[in-house]
């Protein structure tokens, strides 16, 4: 399987691009830096596609036709006593290959798009260097062979996300958003780290394959100790998995750790498309999928939590998305909602039988969502460039000025709304079907969310491209604002992907067992969600296609609920209350007092004592030789007396 | 005959150099200052190489008057290298001086006295060597001839030294009266701990304590250090003090071994007092030389803790500490000599903004201070670490706690100098100093010593293989 060692170049190429641009970027003029990075990424994408082809069609299956997990490269990094070692390596299996394709493809699109979008920025080469760092970290995360390696890249992804959110560091809001994202995800990562420690101490390894094998083997010692010991009536294994899920929920912006994602929209829009829509935010889903075996077989309790957190997040975010007026924020909440979908798809599936299809469905949705959500963000970037505002009220009637954007945005909206035959329809159906089998309540939440999704996406669509032309921006002003060819190309390619990705027989490639599965598409089953989505689209058209008073009336009807949703259900305020009033006042303030008065006080007393002592003996040093001689003789006599009469 | 020549090679080598200097002085002219420095800068390492490749054979000569061992040769070599470094960095100061040859004559006589001291196997030679190493040194202190303080320094040195020698000689005569011999080999068997012997021991002990500036026999130190020219201060605080540490530890471990219970109490007590008082005084100093004087008093306190270990580790840690101390302290003195001879500034405030004008020199001085403070990974850390480990073997935790607290205090005042150099800005900016080749070489040697000794563990292992305990 040595042909797969070439996979090492997939993360290394963006890393090289990062190093090159990081060190020498400032010497490159114009868009050279961007082109350089794009060429590097094109190489990485080509290798990824090649690997996908070789893995899925040529060499990936073993003799029984099951996709195997291949570790083409592995070296021991740190060797500890007791057989525990930390390795670095590459892991190739269906979900890793699928993620490789997604990450390199979307990253390539963003690289291309940014050539025009970021042109003229002062820190153009720095931007591309950061993109390279992010892509490297994300690919390293995907290819990780063990929990420790994934944790390292997990943090690297967080750092590059921090850097890119705060790219416009002369804006106070961007700095605040970057800090918020970093702190919230760091907090979640603390859980992740403890989870890693719990799991690895139970299994005695960090390696994914061995870990999963030991913790799912019902006769094994590792599983026995992990389930026998417990805390608060929950087994150590479940705690470990829940803590790891906490890390995943932080990165994937699941309720209630989602508060950083909407603010992260302060970063450049292509970055939002790459990091906060298609790749980094699905890292949590990927992590759960990676450890799916342990979740499914050994900790159904943890699975239940995953399912409900996902379901609540998806509905919660969809409701908020209906009320936001900043288009990027709407997309951010929509992302959160869709990731909630993927999460509950994983959560509702079991380890075997038809229920395991949820695993495939989640990954399928991850795949299609990456395409159409990246497209939505890139389209939003076009719109924002055209009107110089993020606010929906500044937009309207842009379909003439931005024809390509208009068309591709519409495709993406249809895809996310789950209208057949666009990509989102197939993956969403698979998820709903999986939920329907085991968790009817979650199924209904999914249905409602799907309808809301259709509504708010078309609210955006009609608000941006139809309706009255905003008074602030005349036609002449918009003209010729749709960017160059390299900005439109990613839109078109992603548009094609959003239309066709649904027809990929995804179950043939990605499944938990490695054997092909048939994803469920049933006309009778599809009628309800599709028709609800269409109703959502129609309502949106009724409300927003022409200026109308209906939105205000409906908002008035919902009253306080609407206000609460527009204020994002006050989650940020709750966090502020907890941190400011409870943590700062009740914990930090006494701790600070203790630090100031007791710790510093002790240290200061020591210093003052030294100073005072120093002053009080300074008179001894008189400068007179006779007094020195007196001391000398006196001390000698004293020593003699002490030794002869007291000690001897 | 040949055997005796090799046995006394270090001393004879120094004698030859002294005669050469005398000759130069008689026929030479005043312009020769530069040549004298160069001659000595080359002659001293040649002598060191001779000592390295033709080590004195182990054993005793002159009826047990003089002894030699690998350890003694190593110690002499170390002190010779230290003297060489001082010679290298004192050239800018000496060029403006009228009597360079005399400087070297006095310094090398002192060194010869120290060599005899290290080799002495008998209290008679011991006393003569001690005087030989003290009187030229007092003359050296007066070497800034036109400066009043320099003369004052020499007078204080000679008076204090005379008092100390008197008491020491009194002690030696009492010891002779109590045992009937002056030979180091015969004395231990005759020591029974009678009050007379203890009195004699304490008097001899105070002679060492004076030379090592152990509190309360330290008062001369600061005044003499402050008044003497910087290279002489360096010689006093590094070479003279280092040699006394060597003699002290071997005397305690051999000659006064039967009294170990008594001197153990004495040196732990004095270690605590020395560390604390030295540090408390050092906090308040503004003059760099006084500051280094008091900090060296505190360093001797740590040294005593190592000695109190009474084991092979005790001796090896003392020798290793002196080795590290030579490089660290001389690096500091080299930079201070440069500053002092160019700008005649000798205060901590005078170093404000030093990093801005002379970044490299500031870093060397900072490194030296870090090493003196015992901050890892400089060699100074390992030096202190071995001392305290040796002392810890006695389970004397209160002393170790005091030592640890004192290290915190010392960190404060060492870093105060670093802060002045790096963080404080000054109104009158310092000129950019341009050290000549020999000074640069001295700085390089010291920096290499500070950085490499800590990591090169065979150095300590080798010293340990030569050492002995009780």
Query: Would you state the pLDDT for residue A2?
Result: 66
What integer pLDDT is reported at residue B48 of this predicted model?
Answer: 92
- Give me the count of residues in chain A: 648
Q: Mean pLDDT lowest for which of A38-47, B1-10, B194-203? A: B1-10
CA atoms of A103 and A138, how far apart (whole Å): 8
Counts for chain B of helices (H) and strands (E), in that order: 21, 2
CB-CB contact of A147 with A247 (8 Å): no
Res. A477: pLDDT tops 50: no
Tell me: the pLDDT tens digits for B93-115? 887 787 888 899 999 999 999 99
Cα separation of A240 and A237, whole Å? 5
Question: Please, where are the H alpha helices in A349-402?
Answer: 357-387
Closest residue of chain B to A622, computed from CA coordinates: B219
Q: How many CB atoms lie within 10 A of CB B259?
A: 21
A118: helix, coil or strand? coil
Residue A479: what pLDDT?
Answer: 47
Is residue A574 a contact partner of residue A568, using CB atoms and an 8 Å limit? no
* Residue A23 C-alpha, separation from nearest chain B C-alpha, in angstroms: 26
The span from the first CA to the last CA of chain B, in angstroms, equals 35
Q: Tokens 């607290």 identify what position?
A: B405
Length of chain B: 470
- Mean pLDDT along residues A302-306: 87
Chosen from A623, A629, A636 to mutate, greatest number of chain B CBs within 10 A: A636
Asked if B163 and A632 count as a contact pair (C-beta separation under 8 A), the reply is yes
List all residues 6 or more positions away from A52 whose beta carbon is below 8 Å from its beta carbon. A97, A98, A100, A101
Residue A207 β-bridge partners: A146
pLDDT tens-digit series, residues B169-220: 999 999 999 898 999 999 999 988 888 899 999 999 999 999 999 988 988 9
> How buried is A298 (Cβ within 10 angstroms: 0-12 exposed, 13-18 middle, 19+ buried)?
buried
Say which residues have a Cβ less than 8 Å from residue B131's Cβ, sequence separation at least 6. Answer: B113, B165
Give the tens place of pLDDT for each residue, B336-378.
988 888 888 888 888 888 888 888 999 999 999 999 998 888 8
Rounded (to 5) percent helix, strand, coil in chain A: 75, 5, 20
For residue A618, what is the DSSP state?
G
Residue range A209-221: average pLDDT? 78
What's chain B's average pLDDT?
89
Of A218-227, A586-595, B5-14, B76-85, minimum mean pLDDT range: A218-227
Average pLDDT of chain A to the nearest whole number: 82
Q: Which of A1-15, A307-321, B165-179 has the lowest mean pLDDT?
A: A1-15
Contact A639 B205 (CB under 8 A): yes
- Whether residue A253 contacts residue A373, with contact meaning beta carbons closer than 8 Å, is answered with no
B363 CB-contact burial (10 Å; exposed 0-12 / middle 13-18 / buried 19+): middle
Residue A514 has pLDDT above 80, yes or no: no
Is the per-residue pLDDT at A472 higher than 60? no
Contact between B216 and A631 using a beta-carbon 8 Å cutoff: yes
Among B384, B274, B275, residue whose Cα is nearest residue B320: B384
Tokens read off for A347? 């959560």
pLDDT category of residue A81 using cuts at 50, 70 and 90: low
- In this complex, the residue of A614, A629, A643 whose CB is nearest that of residue B284 is A614
Nearest residue of chain B to residue A618 (CA atoms):
B281
Is residue B76 predicted with pLDDT exceeding 90?
Answer: yes
Distance from CA of B281 to the nearest CA of A (A): 6
Average pLDDT over residues A604-631: 79
Closest residue in chain B to residue A614, using alpha carbons only: B280
The reply to whether A641 touches chain B by the CB within 8 Å rule is: no
**Cα separation values, A290 from A90, A153, A308, Å:** 14, 15, 19
Q: How many CB pairs below 8 Å do chains A and B form together? A: 83
What pLDDT was estimated at residue B161?
93
Average pLDDT of span B397-412: 87
In this complex, do A633 and B163 lie within 8 Å of one another by their Cβ atoms?
yes
Structure tokens at A7: 């996979």
Nearest CA in chain B to A642: B266
**pLDDT (0 to 100) of residue B369:** 93
Phi, psi of A88 (to 5 degrees): -125, 140
Beta bridge partners of B59: B68
Are A617 and B412 inside 8 Å of each other by CB? no
CA-to-CA distance for B218 and B206, rounded, in angstroms?
11
- Low-confidence winner among A99-108, A182-191, A511-520, B427-436 (lowest mean pLDDT): A511-520
The DSSP code for B120 is B
Q: Is this structure's pTM higher than 0.90? A: no
- The counts of H helices and E strands in chain A are 29, 4
Q: pLDDT tens across A247-270, in order?
A: 889 888 888 888 888 888 888 888
Contacts of A611 in chain B (CB under 8 A): 283
Q: Which segment, A231-245, A576-590, B128-142, is predicted with the most confidence on average?
A: B128-142
The answer to whether the beta carbons of residues A270 and A114 sit under 8 Å apart is yes
Which residues pair with residue B122 across a beta bridge? Answer: B183
Residue B274 to residue B285: CA distance in whole angstroms: 16
C-beta neighbour count of B466 within 10 angstroms: 17
**In the prediction, which pLDDT does A475 show?**
46
Task: Check pLDDT > 80 for residue B392.
Answer: yes
**How many whole angstroms separate alpha carbon B154 and alpha carbon B110?**
15
**Cross-chain residue pair B219–A640, CB shorter than 8 Å:** no
Q: Which helix (H) or strand (E) holds A77?
A: strand A70-79
Alpha-helix runs per DSSP H in B235-259: 241-253
Spatial CA neighbour of A258 closest among A197, A357, A339: A339
B285-309 residue pLDDT tens: 888 888 998 999 999 999 999 999 8
The pLDDT value recorded for residue A82 is 64
With contact defined as beta carbons under 8 Å apart, do B134 and B165 qualify?
A: yes
Given a contact cutoff of 8 angstroms between Cβ atoms, the answer to whether B223 and B281 are in contact is: no
Asked if A629's CB is within 8 angstroms of B159's CB, the reply is yes
Q: Where are the domains of chain B?
A: 2-469
User: Chain A closest CA to B349's CA: distance in Å?
Assistant: 19
Which of A618, A627, A628 comes nearest B284 by C-beta?
A618
pLDDT of residue A476 exceeding 60, the answer is no
In 3D space, the residue among A476, A478, A452 whose CA is nearest the CA of residue A465 turns out to be: A478
Name the residue facing B206 among A614, A620, A636 (closest C-beta): A636
pLDDT higher than 90, residue B1: no
CB contacts, 8 Å: B279 with chain A: 610
Q: Is the pLDDT of residue B246 over 70?
A: yes
Q: Which residues of A touch B153 (CB under 8 A)?
A: none
On whether the CB atoms of residues A445 and A317 are closer than 8 A, the answer is no
B167 touches chain A (CB under 8 A): yes
A156 min Cα distance to partner chain B (Å): 30
Backbone angles phi, psi at A386, to 5 degrees: -75, -40
Indicate which of A612, A616, A640, A648 best probes the interface with B, i.e. most B CBs within 10 Å of its own CB.
Answer: A640
| Chain A CA closest to residue B168 | A636
Instruction: Write the pLDDT tens digit of every residue in B18-62.
Output: 998 888 888 876 556 678 888 888 999 999 999 888 888 888 888
Cα–Cα separations (whole angstroms), residue B167 to A555, A626, B130, B210, B214: 103, 15, 13, 11, 16
Rounded distance between C-alpha atoms, residue A495 and residue A221, angstroms:
51
Task: Please state, in angstroms and as integers, the Cα–Cα distance from residue A61 to each residue in A4, A87, A102, following that order.
Answer: 14, 25, 21
How far is Cα A106 from Cα A138, in angstroms, rounded to an integer? Answer: 12
- The answer to whether residue A474 scores a pLDDT higher than 50 is no
Chain-chain contact of A628 with B206 (C-beta, under 8 angstroms): no
Which residues of chain B does A644 touch, with a Cβ-Cβ cutoff of 8 Å? 195, 198-199
Give, in degrees to the nearest 5, the angle at Cα A316 between A314 and A322.
100
B145 secondary structure, DSSP code: T
Instruction: Please indicate whether, in this complex, the C-beta atoms of B219 and A643 are within 8 angstroms of each other.
Output: no
Collapsing DSSP states into helix, strand and coil, what is residue A73? strand
Torsion B322-B327-B332-B337 (CA) sign:
positive
Tell me the pLDDT band of A485, cut-offs 50, 70 and 90: confident
Residue recorded with tokens 């020219």: B229
Tell me the C-alpha distance between B86 and A199, whole Å.
62
The DSSP string of A98-138 is HHHHHHHHHHHHHHHHHHHHTTT-TTHHHHHHHHHHHHHHH
Q: Dig out the tokens for B21 from the structure.
A: 């200097």
Q: How many whole angstroms separate alpha carbon A262 and alpha carbon A337?
A: 12
Beta-bridge partner residues of A85: A79
Closest partner CB to A636 (pick from B203, B223, B280): B203
Q: What is the pLDDT of residue A576?
A: 76
Give the Cα separation of A638 and B328 in Å (integer): 35
Q: Which of B199, B223, B279 sits opposite A623 (nearest CB)?
A: B223
Q: Where are the beta strands (DSSP E) in B23-171?
A: 59-61, 66-68
Q: What mean pLDDT comes out for the span A192-214?
A: 83
Q: What is the mean pLDDT of residues A574-581?
A: 75
């Amino acid at each position: 399987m040595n042909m797969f060692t070439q996979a090492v170049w997939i993360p290394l190429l963006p890393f090289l691009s990062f190093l090159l641009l990081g060190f020498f970027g400032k010497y490159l003029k114009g868009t050279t830096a961007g082109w350089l990075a794009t060429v590097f990424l094109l190489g990485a994408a080509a290798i990824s596609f090649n690997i996908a082809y070789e893995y899925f069609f040529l060499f990936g299956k073993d003799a029984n036709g099951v996709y195997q997990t291949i570790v083409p490269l592995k070296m021991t990094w740190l060797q500890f006593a007791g057989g525990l070692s930390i390795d670095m390596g590459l892991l190739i299996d269906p979900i890793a290959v699928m993620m490789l394709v997604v990450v390199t493809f979307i990253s390539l699109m963003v690289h291309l798009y940014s050539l025009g979008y970021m042109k003229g920025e002062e820190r153009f080469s720095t931007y591309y260097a950061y993109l390279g760092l992010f892509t490297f970290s994300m690919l390293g995360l995907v290819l990780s062979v063990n929990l420790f390696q994934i944790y390292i890249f997990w943090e690297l992804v967080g750092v590059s996300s921090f850097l890119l959110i705060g790219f416009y560091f002369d804006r106070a809001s961007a700095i605040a958003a970057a800090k918020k994202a970093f702190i919230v995800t760091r907090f979640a990562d603390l859980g992740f780290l403890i989870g890693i420690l719990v799991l690895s101490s139970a299994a005695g390894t960090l390696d994914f394959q061995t870990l999963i094998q030991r913790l799912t083997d019902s006769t094994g010692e590792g599983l026995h100790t992990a389930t026998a010991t417990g805390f608060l009536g929950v087994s150590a294994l479940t705690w470990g998995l829940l803590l790891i899920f906490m890390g995943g929920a932080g990165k994937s912006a699941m309720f209630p750790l989602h508060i950083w994602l909407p603010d992260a929209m302060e970063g450049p829009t292509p970055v939002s498309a790459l990091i906060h829509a298609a790749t980094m935010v699905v890292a949590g889903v990927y992590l759960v999928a990676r450890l799916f075996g342990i979740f499914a077989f050994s900790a159904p309790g943890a699975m239940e939590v995953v399912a409900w957190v996902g379901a609540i997040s998806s509905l919660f975010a969809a409701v908020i998305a209906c009320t936001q007026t900043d288009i990027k924020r709407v997309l951010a909440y929509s992302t959160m909602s869709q990731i909630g979908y993927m999460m509950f798809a994983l959560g509702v599936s079991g380890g075997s039988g038809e229920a395991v299809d949820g695993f495939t469905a989640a990954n399928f949705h991850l795949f299609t969502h990456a395409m159409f959500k990246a497209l939505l963000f890139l389209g939003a970037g076009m719109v924002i460039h055209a009107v110089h505002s993020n606010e929906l009220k500044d937009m309207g009637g842009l379909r003439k000025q931005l024809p390509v954007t208009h068309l591709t945005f519409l495709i993406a909206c249809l895809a996310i709304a789950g209208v057949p035959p666009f990509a989102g329809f197939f993956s969403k159906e698979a998820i709903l079907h999986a939920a329907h089998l085991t968790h009817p309540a979650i199924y209904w939440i999914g249905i409602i969310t799907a309808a809301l999704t259709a509504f708010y996406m078309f609210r955006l669509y009609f608000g941006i491209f139809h309706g009255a032309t905003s008074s602030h921006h005349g036609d002449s002003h918009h003209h010729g604002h749709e960017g160059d060819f390299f900005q439109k190309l990613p839109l078109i390619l992603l548009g094609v992907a959003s239309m066709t990705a649904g027809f990929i027989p995804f179950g043939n490639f990605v499944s938990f067992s490695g054997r092909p599965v048939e994803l469920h598409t049933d006309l009778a089953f599809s009628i309800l969600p599709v028709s609800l989505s269409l109703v959502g689209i129609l309502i949106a058209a009724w409300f927003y296609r022409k200026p109308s008073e209906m939105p205000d009336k409906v908002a008035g009807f919902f009253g306080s609920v609407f206000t609460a949703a527009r204020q994002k259900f006050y989650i940020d305020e709750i966090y502020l209350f907890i941190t400011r009033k409870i943590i700062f006042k009740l914990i930090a303030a006494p701790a600070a007092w203790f630090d100031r008065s007791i710790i510093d006080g002790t240290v200061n007393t020591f210093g003052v004592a030294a100073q005072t002592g120093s002053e009080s003996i300074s008179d001894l040093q008189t400068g007179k030789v006779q007094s020195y001689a007196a001391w000398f003789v006196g001390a000698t006599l004293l020593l003699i007396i002490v030794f002869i009469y007291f000690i001897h | 005959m040949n055997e005796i020549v090799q046995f006394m090679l270090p001393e004879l080598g120094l004698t030859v150099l002294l005669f050469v200097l005398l000759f130069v002085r008689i026929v030479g002219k005043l312009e020769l200052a530069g040549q004298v420095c160069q001659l000595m800068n080359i002659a001293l390492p040649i002598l060191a190489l001779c000592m390295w490749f033709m080590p004195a054979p182990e054993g005793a000569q002159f009826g047990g008057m003089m002894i030699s061992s690998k350890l003694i040769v190593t110690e002499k070599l170390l002190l010779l290298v230290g003297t060489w470094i001082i010679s290298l960095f004192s050239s800018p100061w000496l060029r403006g001086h009228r009597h360079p040859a005399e400087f070297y004559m006095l310094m090398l006589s002192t060194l010869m006295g120290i060599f005899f001291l290290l080799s002495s196997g008998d209290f008679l030679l011991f006393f003569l060597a001690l005087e030989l190493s003290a009187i030229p040194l007092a003359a050296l202190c007066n070497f800034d001839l036109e400066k009043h303080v320099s003369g004052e320094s020499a007078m204080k040195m000679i008076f204090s030294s005379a008092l100390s020698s008197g008491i020491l000689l009194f002690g030696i005569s009492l010891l002779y009266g109590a045992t009937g011999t002056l030979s180091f080999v015969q004395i231990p068997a005759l020591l029974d701990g009678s009050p007379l012997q203890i009195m004699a021991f304490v008097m001899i002990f105070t002679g060492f304590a004076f030379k090592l500036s152990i509190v309360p026999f330290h008062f001369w130190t600061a005044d003499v250090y402050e008044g003497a020219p910087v290279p002489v201060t360096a010689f006093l605080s590094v070479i003279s003090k280092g040699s006394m540490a060597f003699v002290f530890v071997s005397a305690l471990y051999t000659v006064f071994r039967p009294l170990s219970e008594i001197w153990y109490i004495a040196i732990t007590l004095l270690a605590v007092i020395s560390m604390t008082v030295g540090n408390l005084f050092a906090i308040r100093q503004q003059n760099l030389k006084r500051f280094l004087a008091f900090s060296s008093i505190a360093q001797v306190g740590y040294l005593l803790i190592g000695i109190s270990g009474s084991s092979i580790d005790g001796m090896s840690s003392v020798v290793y500490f002196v080795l590290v101390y030579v490089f660290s302290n001389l690096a500091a003195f080299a930079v201070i000599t440069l500053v002092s001879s160019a700008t005649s500034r000798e205060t901590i405030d005078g170093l404000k903004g030093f990093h801005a004008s002379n970044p490299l020199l500031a870093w060397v001085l900072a490194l030296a201070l870090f090493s003196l403070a015992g901050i890892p990974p400089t060699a100074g850390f390992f030096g202190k670490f071995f001392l305290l480990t040796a002392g810890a073997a006695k389970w004397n935790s209160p002393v170790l706690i005091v030592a640890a607290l004192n290290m915190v205090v010392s960190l404060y005042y060492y870093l105060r100098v670093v802060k002045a150099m790096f963080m404080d800005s000054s109104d009158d900016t310092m000129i950019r100093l341009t050290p000549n080749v020999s000074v640069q070489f001295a700085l390089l040697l010291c920096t290499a010593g500070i950085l490499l000794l800590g990591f090169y563990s065979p150095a300590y292992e080798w010293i340990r293989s030569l050492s002995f305990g009780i």
